[in-house]
Structure 1
Amino acid sequence: MTSPDTLTAARALLESRSISPSELLQEYVRNIEAAEPQVKAWKVLRLDEAREQARALDRKISTLQQLPLLFGIPYGAKDIICTQGIPTEAGSRVLQGHIPDEDATVIKILKGQDAVLLGKTTTTEFANLGNPPPTTNAWNAGHTPGGSSSGSAAAMGARMALFTLGTQTAGSISRPAAFNGVTALKATFGRISKTGVYPCGRSLDHVGAFTHSVEDSALVFNALSGPDPTDEATRYLPYQPLSIRSHKDYTLGILEDAYFAAADQAGVAAMMQALDHLRASGVRVVPVKAPRGLAESARAQHVTMQAEVASYHAETFKTRGELFDPSLQAFIAEGLKISADQYLQAQSVRNDYRMAFAQAFTEADILVTPTALGTAPAGIGATGSPVFNLPFTNLGLPTLTLPVGFSPENALPLGMQLIAPHLQEQRLIDMGCFYQASTDWHLQRPPVAR
């Protein structure tokens, strides 16, 4: 059989007992064996342990009337997410050989769900900007998969898992999702615990998942989101599970600003075609002028990230700085020069722009931009620009990236970014489900996965 297209489809097969956890796992083991030599998405694979767990689930499934949301589902986790007894090195010589003695909260949740961990996926060093791993794009090995969640996105593009965990501090979920033709929900800051995840920028970091459909994104969100007493960012946000539905009674706003002038025309054309499709289906689409200061918000994000990266690594940088890649050494050194006044000014910009941006949501329920400047850049020495993701990460807004086509120039995937107000992930799920119900861009497989 061909591996199921989506987590939702796999879950239906497991619920009907049409496939066993071991049989489902074997489909993805075959995909890994076929694609991994080219894609190089995995830092650590633990297939023997996964097979052993799946055999135990084969026995357990007969005792269950209702399966947990992610029961028996093969997944991968970015190598900055701590996994007990499994190496977690964050792509850095600083942590070479490190084996955590405790799981991150999200891994604990997934163990409780009986999801099956395939292994750890590659990342740039400490999820920062430089030192990309050898991972290639799922659609073309001559192009980057994006970053920093390089392996998680590429593994999904190559159909090596049913979902993978990533993180975003600038654009590290949204951009790689677009580059690899997969779906990704980055929820509101604090909706998913970061405990046990090596920080990049503590006030900016988001944990999220790459999936093959919006329905899948909702399932993973429902499993992972909620308060965690060990992560103060989650404590005061309500737990709001997402329903799986398709809905069109929203106004979409095309966010207009000179900030987006650098967008590749093929990407803009694919986005507009997607919006035309939605408009023809009865969705209202209007232009919305962005509040002044998108570029300023992006600059504030950079100051915040650089200062927080430097603060976290300061002691290690002082005693073992030579172990960091030169690009990260330079980033930390510059961050250590940022004054308290500069950092506080960046927070002031963030707060002011958060209030200003609320006005845009009085004109449209969901805002729309391209996810990235264009398709994945050639080469794997850099991961592409997160410029269209930075302001929304800085504000902690929920975003959803959807595949909307392929470039006629290089046949690589293109993505559309939907943005909602804080805690309004349901709007994104509604609109994303509605779009994917009548399109199949999200189901396309690259040659390496066929």
Structure 2
Amino acid sequence: MNFLDYTLEELHDKLVSKELTAVDLVEASYKRIEETDEQVGAFLALSKEEALQAARETDEKGIDPNNVLSGLPVGIKDNILTKGVTTTASSKMLEDFVPVYDATATEKLKGAGMISVGKLNMDEFAMGGSTENSAFKLTRNPWDLSKVPGGSSGGSAAAVAAGQVPVSLGSDTGGSVREPAAFTGLVGVKPTYGRVSRYGLIAFGSSLDQIGPFTRTVKDNALVLNAISGHDPKDSTSYNGETPDFTEGIDKGVKGLRIGVPKEYFNEDAKETGVIESVRNALKLYEELGAEIVEVSLPHSRYGIPAYYIIASSEASSNLQRFDGIRYGYRSENVSSLEDIYVKSRSEGFGLEVKRRIMLGTFSLSSGFYDAHFKKAAQARTLIRNDFDTVFADVDVLVAPTTTTTAFEIGGKIDDPLAMYMSDILTVPVNLAGVPSLSIPCGFSNDMPVGMQIISKHFDEQMMYRVAYAFEKETDFHTKKPAFKGGE
């Protein structure tokens, strides 16, 4: 069987009717991984024995007809802790780290009956936009194996796009779920900051990180977000409010809604023509469906990239202090003093991009530069958030391209950090503001998927899903399958 042919509800119906078993689905997942992962390179570690045992127990207990996720396979990004399964954040620093507990998101998926089949490749410590910064392997885009799948959750996106699993979890600090979703033709969500617990997520930028799901369809995504959302006393930034059913009202359509179009996100000179054209065509469809299209302005978005990279790198330099060669993680053997342990363990254990961001963050926080850099970035962040608050007083959602281009060639930007950072120009303002955003496929350019992001108010994911679902119902972009071009 091929997971690309079914929604989660269709798989659930087959389990309930006993046409398929949970063991069948897990075995199908591993078979597909065996067939395609040599080309794609999505998985870092497989937990086949444990997954099959969990599937057998699920079948013996019986599938809960009221729980759509029961018995379905899932892949987990390798910075989300999984008890007893190696979790490396794709870094030599954590090459042999085996967690003794699950992240809250992992625990909630298991509680919902999902079965983890393995851990997915990523940019080291989630720092990157192409999944070329992994210490262990290169992940390729199933649509064209010469191109990147996006990052940092590239393995999570590639696994779903290649039909290896129907669902995966990623993390989004500055676009790391939405960019790979756009590059691989998937639905990917960055929830409101605080909607999903960060407990057990290896920290990069603590005020920015959020876990989000990858799926083939909008409703599937809402179902998974239902499972992983909710207050967690173990996470002080977790939202202590009601969690709605994100599928409720999903089919209400867009008639009468006001859709804001941020003019700063549609600068044709800076973007691939086909990307702009696809999103403009989507806006025309929304208009035909009864929505009112309103041009709005987010004037401080131009400060998004510099503000983001100062804030995220500063938080990273603080978070990554714990990896010192003493308590856990990689320790250099060629040492003669305590200082040697610190310096050599970190120099050898971290990759180039991680070291670059630690240096940038440490500099931004240092005496004499804090006011000039970090403080200014924090002030810019407030202005960006205020921009969103202002426009949301007048519109229901914002619609814009997710990325400036479709997936780029492997090696195309890896030696130019600034060009790589600029890939996030349309996604980082959302993380700085803490609002939710969803990327859905809305067309093709140069035979590669184009992503459109739908941004809504804080904790209004229901509206975001509703607007996305209205588009998906009228189009077939989500049904297209990857071509695996460029393979042998």
Q: 1:388, 1:24 → 2: CA distance?
A: 37
Gaps of 5+ in 1: none
1:267-299, CA deviations, whole angstroms, 9 ceiling, x for partnerless residues? 0111111222222222222222x2321111332
1:214-240, CA deviations, whole angstroms, 9 ceiling, x for partnerless residues? 101110111110000011111434322
- Asked if 1:158 corresponds to 2:194, the answer is no
Residue 447 of structure 1 is matched in structure 2 by 483
- Asked if 1:297 corresponds to 2:297, the answer is no
Count, aligned residues: 444
8 Å Cα contact 1:372/1:415 also seen in 2: yes
Residue 369 of structure 1 is matched in structure 2 by 400
Amino acid at match of 2:262: L
Q: 1:393, 1:18 → 2: CA distance?
A: 42
Amino acid at match of 2:191: A
8 Å Cα contact 1:44/1:121 also seen in 2: yes
Aligned counterpart in structure 1 of residue 361 of structure 2, from 325, 328, 335: 335
- Asked if 1:398 corresponds to 2:463, the answer is no
SS in 2 for 1:43: strand
Q: Which moved more, 1:231-240 or 1:105-114?
A: 231-240
Residue 262 of structure 2 is matched in structure 1 by 255
Q: 2:265, 2:89 → 1: CA distance?
A: 36
Structure 1 residue 350, shift from structure 2 partner: 1.6
Aligned counterpart in structure 2 of residue 198 of structure 1, from 198, 202, 205: 202
- Asked if 1:429 corresponds to 2:465, the answer is yes
Distance 1:277 1:332, change over 3 A: same
Residue 351 of structure 1 is matched in structure 2 by 382
Aligned counterpart in structure 1 of residue 320 of structure 2, from 290, 313, 316: 313
8 Å Cα contact 2:86/2:96 also seen in 1: yes
Residue 86 of structure 2 is matched in structure 1 by 87
SS in 1 for 2:443: strand
Q: Which moved more, 1:208-217 or 1:376-385?
A: 376-385
Amino acid at match of 1:348: Q
1:319-339, CA deviations, whole angstroms, 9 ceiling, x for partnerless residues? 422121123212211211113
Distance 1:187 1:260, change over 3 A: farther
Structure 1 residue 440, shift from structure 2 partner: 1.4
Amino acid at match of 2:83: Q
- Asked if 1:267 corresponds to 2:267, the answer is no
Amino acid at match of 1:38: Q
Residue 37 of structure 2 is matched in structure 1 by 36
Aligned counterpart in structure 2 of residue 277 of structure 1, from 285, 300, 318: 285
Distance 1:81 1:382, change over 3 A: farther
Q: How does 1:108-123 map to 2 (within 5 A)?
A: 108-123=107-122
Q: 1:419, 1:254 → 2: CA distance?
A: 10
Q: How does 1:217-236 map to 2 (within 5 A)?
A: 217-236=221-240
SS in 2 for 1:218: helix
Distance 1:259 1:403, change over 3 A: closer
Q: How does 1:126-205 map to 2 (within 5 A)?
A: 126-129=125-128, 131-132=133-134, 133-205=137-209
Amino acid at match of 2:377: A
Residue 101 of structure 1 is matched in structure 2 by 100
1:367-414, CA deviations, whole angstroms, 9 ceiling, x for partnerless residues? 11110011100115657511110111111110010101111x3x1111
If the length of structure 2 is used for normalisation, what is the TM-score? 0.87
If the length of structure 1 is used for normalisation, what is the TM-score? 0.94
Structure 1 residue 259, shift from structure 2 partner: 7.4
Structure 1 residue 315, shift from structure 2 partner: 5.0
Q: Which moved more, 1:7-16 or 1:168-177?
A: 7-16
Aligned counterpart in structure 2 of residue 379 of structure 1, from 403, 410, 420: 410
- Asked if 1:325 corresponds to 2:356, the answer is no
Distance 1:112 1:380, change over 3 A: farther
Q: Which moved more, 1:29-38 or 1:257-266?
A: 257-266
Residue 24 of structure 1 is matched in structure 2 by 25
Gaps of 5+ in 2: 325-341, 415-419
Distance 1:40 1:60, change over 3 A: same
Structure 1 residue 361, shift from structure 2 partner: 1.6
8 Å Cα contact 2:198/2:210 also seen in 1: yes
Q: Which moved more, 1:378-387 or 1:73-82?
A: 378-387
